[in-house]
Chains A and B, each alone.
Chain A
Amino acid sequence: MMVCVTAKGPGPKDPAEERFGRSPYFLFRDTEGGEWSAVANEFADAAGGVGPRAAQVLIDRGTRVLITGNVGGNALAVIQAAGIEVYLYRENGTAGDAYQKFTSGQLKKFA
């Protein structure tokens, strides 16, 4: 199952990012195993319409779970329609910490 964590940098040791649409990086990891992969968010500094376009990035990679701090209305509409589950991580840890908390069932499901 493909999981996406929003992050301030391209690796799991970089801090987790609270914002979804304007997150600098999207980090992907398959729960079945494998390496982390990173996608730089080309919409991080765009003027508007970032939420749905960022959601499209997740959809294109077959994401089933998103771990982030907050999701805006338009992005949430897309994410829910695509059947992606959202889990909230609002601590000051790394993206890797956020992923660990998710896999050990410590994160709360959003909406």
Chain B
Amino acid sequence: MRLVVASGKGGTGKTLVASNLAAVLASEREVVLVDCDVEEPNAHLFFPSEEKTLPVLTDVPAFDNSRCTHCGNCGDSCQFGAIVVLKDRVLFFPAMCHGCGGCELVCPEGAITMEKRSIGHVAFSTPRSGLVLITGVLHEREVMSPHVIREALAYASGHDLVICDAPPGTACPVVETLEGADACIFVTEPTPFGLHDLILAAGVAEVLGVPSGVVINRSMGDEGSIRNLCRARNLPILMTIPFDRGIAEAANSGQLVTDRMPGMKDQFLKLFTRASALPGVR
């Protein structure tokens, strides 16, 4: 089973929910936690541990100047503005290249061959018994976060239980993380911003056909608008986390609330049971 923890809005508590969920489940079975927020991965802060890393590579063109006639076909074919052909040379911007290989196909002189370039890495650690943490990291100045997410997820495939900490937003990186998942937990907060972005994110999961439920974080007991929305959208509320100083202190000092507050462990186990029982989950 692959379960994604997403939110739409940033800062609602995705990493808190994903990390605590993974930690409590790991005391019972083997769990892989994949941090798919590759632009700013931070689940590792809850799990300090020695890491091993592997590079994430992408294809980029290499130009053979002795063959190039500066015909401009490669520049015309590039949809990302990564190649500009001058009269006497070719300018290439690696960070704008999406590695499609179109330039190699259209070059009539065979002057282009594809080479490998590192755009990020994947880090592996085993911070506690039963838990493997896989962290996707996109390097600075790079744009192809879905590529790094895909690679991080590929290392987790085949495992029985995979929990993904999704990036915020609703664009390509979120779609990459959600596509093909068995279930999704949306973490929201009782603010107009949390609600607004939950509506957008829930729309993405609906289009992708991923069964979803909601966790209300920082609840002060007055989240009627969220409850109304969830009822209208058929999104079950799976858990409510109170606005509590103890929880905030644990999270802000990099500790898991399930380690510090005994009652929380059962609540997170229940969250998993409810998420697994969402209609449509295999």
Interface on A for B, CB 8 Å cutoff? Answer: 43, 46, 48-53, 55-56, 59, 74, 77-78, 81-82
Contacts and interface: CB of A to CB of B under 8 A. Distances in A.
A56 B82 contact: no
B67 to A, nearest CB: 20
Contacts of A74: 81, 93, 96
A59 B86 contact: yes
Contacts of B93: 49, 52, 74, 77
Given A78-B84, A82-B86, A52 B143 contact: no
A84 to B, nearest CB: 10
13 contacts: A43-B81, A48-B143, A49-B81, A51-B81, A52-B81, A53-B84, A55-B84, A56-B84, A56-B85, A59-B84, A74-B81, A78-B86, A81-B91
Contact count band on B: 10 to 19
A52 B86 CA distance: 11
A55 B84 CA distance: 8
Interface string B44-79: 000000000000000000000000000000010000
A59 B85 CA distance: 9
A6 B89 CA distance: 26
A50 B78 CA distance: 12
Contact of B82 (A49, A55, A81): A49
Contact of A48 (B81, B83, B84, B85): B81
B84 A49 contact: no
A56 B61 CA distance: 19
A52 B89 contact: no
B86 A81 contact: yes
Nearest to A43: B81
Given A81-B89, A82-B86, A49 B75 contact: no
A43 B80 CA distance: 11
Contacts of B96: 48-49, 52, 74
Interface in B246-278: none
Given A49-B82, A81-B91, 4 more contacts: A48-B81, A53-B81, A53-B84, A74-B81
Contacts of B82: 49, 52
Nearest to B89: A81
A48 B86 contact: no
A50 B82 CA distance: 10
Interface in B165-180: none
A74 B97 CA distance: 13
Nearest to B93: A74
Interface string B72-115: 00010000111111100101010010000000000000000000
Nearest to B76: A56
A57 B185 CA distance: 47
